[in-house]
Each structure stands twice: as C-alpha cells, then as structure tokens.
Homo-oligomer: A and B are copies of this chain.
Amino acid sequence: MKSRSDMRKGIEMRWKLLVMVLCCWSLGVTSVNADEGMWLFNDLPVKQLKQKYGFEPDQAWAEKLMRSCVRFNSGGSASFVSSNGLVLTNHHVGAETLHKLSTPERNVYEDGFLARTTAEELKAPDLELNQLLSIEDVTDAVNAGITADLTAEEALTKRRANIAAIEQKSLDETGLRSDVVTLFGGGKYHLYRYKKYTDVRLVFSPEASIAFFGGDADNFEYPRYCLDACIFRVYENDQPAKTPDFLKWSDNGPAAGELVFVAGNPGRTSRIFTTDALRYQRDHRMPFMLDFLRRREIMLQQFGLAGPEQARRAKDDLFGVQNSRKAYLGMLGGLQDPAVMADKVSRENQLKAAIDRDPKLQGAAAAYSTIAEIQRQRTSALRTSISMNSQVFGLAHTMVQMVVEDQKPSGSRLPPYRDSARASLELGLYSDAPLYPDLEQAILADLLGRLCEIRGGDDPLCQEVLNGLSPVERAREVIAGTSLFDPQKRRELVAAGTDAVRNSSDPLIQLAWILDPQLRKQTEMTEAWSEQERQAYAKIADALFAVHGDSTYPDATFTLRLAFGTVKGYEEDGREVPAFSTIGGAFEHEANHKGEEYFELPESWTKNRDKLDPQTPFNFVATPDIIGGNSGSPVVNKNLELVGLIFDGNIQSLVADFMYTDKQGRCTSVHSSALRETLRHFYDASGLADSLGK
C-alpha cells in the first residue's frame, strides 16, 4: 500500500501534506455491502459478523486486539508480537528510519540488518509509535457553545478551542497523547488516548531487494513475492518495554476461504463524497497531483543518475513518489470508468430522492449545493496554488510559523502548533536524521521553477523569491547559505526567540518568510473549505443514517479500525489468480526476469535456497477493506493469532478511496510462515523466529 509519501515526513510535514496535498480528510459514511467496512473499535460490526460468518467477537477480544496494535506516527500500522516489546511492521513503513540509520558505509535499507543481542539494536532517531488505550465519545463537549447563530468561521474557532481544551485536559490528567478525532464528517467526535513510545530500536530488516522484490513493476500487482517486513523493539527507561498485549503467531497461517481480520490505521477514504466532489477529484485534483508526482519522480531519477550515493539518497523519496503515482493512477482510472461514475450518480440520485421526500432532511439538499460550490472554488484555486515539499524548507517554514502561532492561545493555533502537539512537533523539528544538501538543493530548484511556472515569471512573489537569479542559481545560493541542516542551529534559533527568527539572515528562513503569507492563505482557505464540507457532509451523513440505519462505519481517519473478510483469489483477463504465492515462486519469478533491476534475490536467499520447502507460502490476498495507512497491519484469525502482515492492495483495490469492491480488489499480505521460516533458514535468526508471538 505504501502511502508513505502521503504521510511520512515527520509530524510537522505530515500535517502540512495532509492540508496542502490531500486536503480532503472530511469524512463520512455510506451504505454497506459484502465484506466492506473499516469499523470503529468501539462500534464493531458484531451483527454482520454473526450473520455472515457465525462469529461474535466479545469486548475482551476487541480490547486485546486494540492494545496489540501499534501506529507508526510517520504513517503506517504495526503490532506487538512479543511480551518484550517486539513490533512488526513493513519494511516500507520502516524505510524512512532504515534510511536514517544508513550511512555510505552501512546501508541498512539496502543490505538489511539483524541484531543478535539487544545491545546491537539500532536506535531510531525520531520515531514515535502510538498504542491506542481508550476511545471516548466527546461529541457534546466539542460542540459545547456552538449555536446556530455562529458563522462557519466562528464555529470552527470555537470547536478548535474546545478540542484543544479537551486534548490538553486529557494530557494533563493522564499523561497520554490525546487526540480528538472527527468522525462522520463531524457527526461524532471521539477522544483517542495513546501510550507513546519514542525509544524505538531496529531488530531486523531484510534486504530491500526482497522487501520490494519486483520493484515498481510488481507494485500493486499480484501474485507478489515480497518479504515486506521489519521488526523493531520499543524501550522504556532504556530497557525492552513490557508489552503484555501482543499477538500470538499462527503455526500454519490462514486457510483458503478462512475468515480473517485486519486491525490498522487506514489513512483516508472519501466514500461519502458527492458526485461533484468526485468530478473535482477526477477532472482536476488527481490530474494535478499526478503531474506533480511525475515531475518529482523524474527529478529524483535525474538526481540519482549522478552516482550510486546520489541514487541512495533519492531512493526513499523516489519509491514513495512512484508508489503514490501508481496509486493515484489506479484511483483515477477507476473514476474515469463511466460505469463507476454512473453507479455513484445513481446511488446519489436515490438518496436525493429520499431526502426530497423527508422534510426533516432538507438540510442535506442544501449540503449538496454547498459542496458543489466548494469544488468550484477548489478548482479555481488549484492551478495557482504552490507547494514547497522540501524537507529543509519544511523545517524553516515550521520555525517561521511556530513563532507566529505561539503568540496565540493554544486553541486558536493551526493544529500542529498546539501545546498538546508540541512534543511531536519538536521531535521532527530537532531530529538529527540526515538531510542531504545536494538533494535538497535539487528539490528546491525544482520547486522554485514550478512556482515560476504556476504564477508566471513576472509575478511579484516569483520575482521576490528569485531575487534576480534563475531558480537553479537561487536554490544553490539558499542551500549554500543556510545553517538549518544542523539540528543544533535550529534549536538555537528557536531558543533565541521570535525576533531572532523574524530578523534572521539565514536565506532559507528569509525564503520561508517570503512564502509564508501565500502558504498560510492556502492553508486557511483549505481549512475553511474543509470545515464547510465537514458540516455539509455531516448533514448528508444524517440523511444516510435516516435512510440506511446507523449500523455503519465512518470514512478513514488514520485511526485504528477493524476490517474483515476471507482469503480468496480472483479472476483477471480471463485467468484465475490464486490466493497464495510461494517461496519457490519467488525463485521462478527471478528466473523469468533475469538480469532486470529489482528482480534479483538477495544472496541470503540464493545461497540458502535448499534449506526451505519451495511450497512454503509467501504472500496471500484477502477481501478485507483496507487503504494506505493500513500498511504493516496484522492480519489475524478468530483466535487473535497473527496469520499475515498487510503490505499492499492490488491495483483493482485502489478505487477503495471512493468505494469498496471485492470483485477483484484485494489486500496483499506477507504470510506468517514466510517471515518465520525465512528468519530461521535464510537469515540464521532462529532465536528471533522463536520469540515471535511469545
């Protein structure tokens, strides 16, 4: 699934990306079919499970599973798989950390890593893991004081202040990370309390060549042959943490047709979107995003051509961008299918007819017009909006925004600058993870060039930004002159106070000041649209509840959800695609793509090949309803044994942002046996293999 490029740049970047790039976390609900659904842990689909599968999970089952799950704050899912802190996730979820732990001499990302003792485990520079401990409905408290006579903006301010107060109070009382989550587009607000782990160490990662075997060519395809897994361990007080809630390891993995569950953090879905909103996505936003992604992809490829070290530096970003590009293309392809849109139109017309018949639902009718109008505004703003997706510029801009936002009460600030988020913000801002000036310069040059394209070379902002130089020369000047690559210098400048940041002679800080008004305006516009959409979708959600009943699930919010389904192949181009692939199949696949990049198995596999039964299952597909952010989610059976590890969805599942389909759409997992057996036989790591699930 690999939605890293959407959600991977540390918390301050993540939030920015969410606002600027995704810009549509306003969420909702739809009617439910088949194995559809990303269900809340405090409102599980008990009825559906009993009805369809004769299985009735109880509270203890749900609680155990919830506490066994771990969220990678950098954008992914995971689970505890031992009582002493072992955490299992995907290689591609850990990739950012693997890169940060790599040096020209020790390429952890490419070559893999195994700690034979806890002393050898490598501490991640800035990783934050969250374990969800409780969910509380705080809808009334969030809406307190919000009366019908408030404008949308006043309501937003008030609601934001209420949320900040709730989060701060919870943090003060419990010491736990406390996030208010907006569900059903504002129909409900839940308070999620997390235990945070910030001392996280790498235990095992396989070679990139087997984690991402088949590369971009195989990405989102099936059959797959990927050991897309890595293992961390959380620490407390410099000791392996005690984690009594963990998943046991299944001896044999899942059977074909078996009921399985996926517990993880789907990042974002948009299933409540009106057809106007879908048209905006199809005809405007997705083509715009794809142009941006392709541009960044080529830029990173070009950067990597200069030599192997440059290629290494660009690789993580490049994979993320390629992955997003392929994902967007799958989504766009789905939306461009006239049959898909016709289905959405037909369902919307049915709901609109029901709304027309019910005087109590008239608010929903107006909501459609509001959303249509916002799409028009988004469309007209889209082509002149700029983005500055550079890591080092993001740091500078965070500092510039922070000194402004910090002069406001916490509840009135932009979300990442609230007191409750400060620890996470600083974790990213002062991280000593490597930043590469040459790569950042190439990215900045491209972004400045793009700014000139978007606004026109004669635009005053463009002229001010360039300061008489070409984009390439200006980027060279700024990167050569900034001291912000040094985390200590960032810390010192912030510590020196508001005026110091305001009057800094650092060219990157100065550039951030020049661009901040425009970036802030974009953020504020997007916030306002999102708030209006939230309110409109809440009304449509009410209508859906009224028509379809309330046994349903909200759109994804990068919070813990439960999905269910069965292990099952599918048909494609007239051929039957089997549910399981095998270890032996990986060797055949290599032979069929002899000599191609990304199709070379690592030496650990080729030299130990004979030690493992080629029929050992490797990957499998199943029907649970997942999306980006679910990467690293455990797949469990009814007994809460881990049978697999989600790492992808096939290309037919990518339309899941807008609708669930199990005709061909499948999630893709590493089989539990594949990880345990390759640890034993290919990686000489029987100790680690034996400790899984114990």
Q: Which residues of A contact B (CB under 8 A)?
A: 215-217, 279, 282-283, 286-287, 290-291, 294-295, 297-298, 302, 305-308, 325, 332-341, 449, 452-453, 456-458, 463, 466, 468-473, 593, 595-597
- A341 x B306 contact (CB < 8 A): no
Q: How far is the CB of A330 from chain B (nearest CB, A)?
A: 10
Report which of B287, B306, B338 forms a contact with A469, defined as CB distance below 8 A. B338
- In the complex, the answer to whether A456 meets B283 with C-beta atoms within 8 Å is yes
Q: How far is the CB of A353 from chain B (nearest CB, A)?
A: 21
Pick the residue among B337, B458, B470 that contacts A470 (CB under 8 A).
B337
* Residues in B neighbouring A341, C-beta threshold 8 A: 457
The 8 Å CB contact of A298, one of B298, B333, B336, B472, is B298
With both chains docked as a complex, state the minimum distance between the C-beta of A374 and any C-beta of chain B, in angstroms.
18
Q: Which residues of B contact A473 (CB under 8 A)?
A: 337
Find out whether the CB atom of A338 lies under 8 angstroms from the CB atom of B472: no
CB atoms of B471 and A333 under 8 A apart: yes
CB distance from A613 to the nearest CB of B (A): 29
Q: A279-B457, A294-B298, A453-B287 are in contact. Are A468 and B336 (CB under 8 A)?
A: no
Contact A470 B333 (CB under 8 A): yes
A-B contacts, 24 listed (Cβ < 8 Å): A216-B305, A279-B456, A279-B458, A282-B456, A283-B453, A291-B294, A291-B295, A294-B297, A294-B298, A298-B298, A305-B596, A307-B593, A307-B596, A308-B595, A308-B596, A332-B453, A333-B472, A336-B457, A337-B469, A337-B473, A338-B466, A338-B469, A339-B468, A340-B470
Contact A283 B449 (CB under 8 A): no
Name A457's contact: one of B282, B456, B595 (CB within 8 Å). Answer: B282
**For residue A308, which residues in chain B have a CB less than 8 angstroms away from its CB?**
595-596
Given A456-B283, A596-B308, A216 contacting B336 (CB threshold 8 A) = no
- Give the chain B neighbours of A325 by CB distance below 8 A: 298
Question: In angstroms, how far is the closest chain B Cβ from the Cβ of A586?
Answer: 17
Closest 6 CB pairs of A and B: A217-B305, A337-B470, A287-B453, A283-B456, A294-B294, A291-B291
- Chain B residues closer than 8 Å to A283, beta-carbon distance: 452-453, 456-457
Contact of A338 among B217, B333, B337, B468 (CB under 8 A): B468
Are A449 and B294 in contact, CB atoms less than 8 angstroms apart?
Answer: no
Provide the residues of chain B in CB contact with A338, threshold 8 Å. Answer: 457, 463, 466, 468-470
A459 smallest CB distance to B (angstroms): 9
Assuming the A-B contacts A294-B295, A298-B294, are A335 and B457 also in contact, with contact meaning beta carbons closer than 8 angstroms in the complex?
A: yes
Q: Which residue of B lies closest to A286 (CB)?
A: B453
Nearest B-chain residue to A598, judged by Cβ: B305
Q: B215, A305: Cβ atoms under 8 Å?
A: yes
Q: B463 touching A336 by the CB < 8 A rule?
A: no
Query: A216 contacts which chain B residues (CB < 8 A)?
Result: 302, 305
User: A339 to chain B: which residues have CB within 8 Å?
Assistant: 468, 470
B295 touches A297 (CB 8 A): no
A458 to B, closest residue via Cβ:
B279
**What is the CA–CA distance of A452 and B333 in the complex, to the nearest angstrom?**
10
Q: Tell me the complex Cα distance, A374–B291, Å.
A: 27
Residues in B neighbouring A290, C-beta threshold 8 A:
295
CB neighbours of A470 from chain B (8 A): 333-334, 336-340
Bound form: Cα–Cα A243–B262 in Å = 76
Contact B305 A449 (CB under 8 A): no
Q: Which of A298, A335, A469 has the most CB of B within 10 A?
A: A298
Complex formed: what's the CA distance from A60 to B472 in Å? 47
Residues from chain B with a CB closer than 8 A to the CB of A217 are 302, 305-306
Q: Measured between alpha carbons, how far is A472 from B453 in the docked complex, in Å?
A: 31
Complex CA distance for A449 and B286, rounded to whole angstroms: 12
A306 to B456, CA, bound (A): 39
A290 to chain B, nearest CB (A): 8
Residues from chain B with a CB closer than 8 A to the CB of A287 are: 453
- Within the complex, the shortest CB–CB distance from A536 to chain B, in Å, comes to 22
Q: A431 → chain B, closest Cβ, in Å?
A: 31
Q: CB-nearest residue of chain B relative to A467?
A: B338
Q: Nearest-CB distance from A464 to chain B (Å)?
A: 11
Q: How far is the CB of A159 from chain B (nearest CB, A)?
A: 35
Question: Bound complex: CA of A593 vs CA of B307, how far in Å?
Answer: 7
In the complex, A287 Cα to B457 Cα: how many Å? 12
Which residues of B sit under 8 angstroms from A456, Cβ to Cβ? 279, 282-283
B-side contacts of A215, CB under 8 Å: 305
Closest to A463 in B: B338
CB distance from A405 to the nearest CB of B (A): 33
Closest to A383 in B: B383
In the bound complex, how far is the Cα of B306 from the Cα of A593, in angstroms? 9
Q: For the complex, give the distance between the alpha carbons of A560 and B302 in Å.
A: 34
